[in-house]
Structure 1
């Protein structure tokens, strides 16, 4: 019996191919008014799965209406990684910093902001004390 699973999987893969091409990974160059050219670089991650099942049993023979169930699916993640910066004869890679992945990383990232806020509060307190 011919199952539609291969058609579902082919259709899913075709849609992914339509979404992702080399221009997704190495983006189109962007030229700024001052002559700097930026080329975006991204990371593309693809997950894909599919499966199916026949419902026929010894007591319940397969027929065209009840014999198959299945599905296919895919997921795509596009993550900015860096920019190639071209200015005159100079070419350099400008990495995009990744978001903090652990609680400790997040805390370390917040420390400068927290210190700035504490300093601001202390300054306000000192100014009020001096005025009054």
Structure 2
């Protein structure tokens, strides 16, 4: 037999699940006039708590102990970056003023691959 707290928890978790999906973390793509596509990248945090108790009563006609309970949750969604897909490749523009490490690595990757290719070509020509 299912306890009443299970129904309370299931309802709250279903509501949280509806609020947070993959489109919450990576936003829907937006195409710009120059043909680039921009998507937001967000940080999602959520918390959840539930509790309840059966309690005794002096009412003798009650077949079971009465139940009191509740649950609650919260969601925080914070945009942290924009993913820009354009003619020049893919860039990650972080919302913080300073350059983010991942953004630097993504910007450096094409140049690094080109340099490594040049090294291998030079070795083959010897």
Q: What is the TM-score when the length of structure 1 is the normalising length?
A: 0.64
Q: Paired residue for 1:55?
A: 55
* Moved >6 Å (runs of 4+): 59-62
CA distance in 2: counterparts of 1:77 and 1:90, whole angstroms:
31
Contact preservation (8 Å) 1:55, 1:62: no
Larger Rg: 1
Q: Paired residue for 2:88?
A: 89
SS in 1 for 2:50: strand
Written as runs of structure 1 = structure 2, the 5 A alignment for 1:63-82 is 63=62, 67-82=66-81
| CA 79–64 in structure 1, closer or farther in 2 if over 3 Å, else same | farther
| CA 62–10 in structure 1, closer or farther in 2 if over 3 Å, else same | farther
SS in 1 for 2:90: strand
Structure 1: runs of 5+ lacking an equivalent: 99-132
Q: Paired residue for 1:25?
A: 25
CA distance in 1: counterparts of 2:28 and 2:10, whole angstroms:
28
CA distance in 1: counterparts of 2:65 and 2:74, whole angstroms:
29
Q: How many residues align?
A: 97
| CA 28–62 in structure 1, closer or farther in 2 if over 3 Å, else same | farther
CA distance in 2: counterparts of 1:61 and 1:4, whole angstroms:
20
Shift of 1:66: 6.3
CA distance in 2: counterparts of 1:64 and 1:3, whole angstroms:
14
